[in-house]
Amino acid sequence: MATYVERVLRTTGARKVDLVGHSQGAGPMPRQYLKFEGGAAKVHRLVGLAPDNHGTTLSGLDAALKAVAPVTDAALGPAPLQQVTGSPFQTALNEGGDTVPGVKYTVLATAYDKVVTPYTSGFLTAPPTDPGAVTNITLQEVCPNDRSGHVDISYSPNAVNLTLDALDPTHRATWNCTNFMPFPPLP
């Protein structure tokens, strides 16, 4: 991520970037970069769709994942276990607060998420010095007829519009919620 951000800054001449991501690419990966790799000085906003900022119980399958850890580590690397609620990685990432000063955060979660469970574990807490730094949104509170799950939230026109709103607040006046029922429904 650091290499890519540097390339974008160099190419555009911008002083900071806005990051938009989904799942692990919206939570742990960019937050690791912000907190431990100097990224906070280079990022203006982080917009996360269905992030697992505080880990996941995988709808109760976290114990099974831990039980087969040697297999998952060999096949997929350490990332799956790092996403489990209470993992050493999650604990270190959230120690001392789950945000860094100077970055504006928007978390867009969906009540139909079956991967990040509970879906509210994606929500962040603003630092006491900047209470407006974090906006946590449950998609269905804004657009009740949007049935997006973890995977298909990225394809929801409502989620796309909420992302654009986070990047440019004047965008909000340009759209209305649409009914969105992914087919087939994904987790």
Residue 46's nearest CA partner among 148, 129, 151, 166 is 166
| pLDDT value at residue 88 | 85
| pLDDT value at residue 87 | 81
pTM above 0.85, yes or no: yes
| pLDDT value at residue 165 | 97
Query: What span, in angstroms and rounded, lies between the C-alpha atoms of 26 and 110?
Result: 14
- Domains, the chain, ordered by start: 16-174 (3.40.50.1820)
Write the burial class of residue 162 (CB in 10 Å: 0-12 exposed, 13-18 middle, 19+ buried).
buried
- Tokens, residue 17: 């970037």
Query: What span, in angstroms and rounded, lies between the C-alpha atoms of 128 and 143?
Result: 30
Can you tell me which residue has the tokens 């807490």? 125
| pLDDT value at residue 182 | 81
Scanning the chain, the segments in alpha helix (DSSP H) are: 2-12, 28-36, 62-67, 69-76, 79-82, 88-94, 139-142, 157-167
Cα dihedral 144→145→148→149 (10° resolution): 60
Instruction: Please give the helix or strand (H or E) that residue 19 lies within, else none.
Output: strand 17-22
Consecutive 10-residue runs of the chain (187 residues): their mean pLDDT?
A: 96 98 93 96 98 80 58 62 77 94 97 94 94 97 96 95 95 90 72
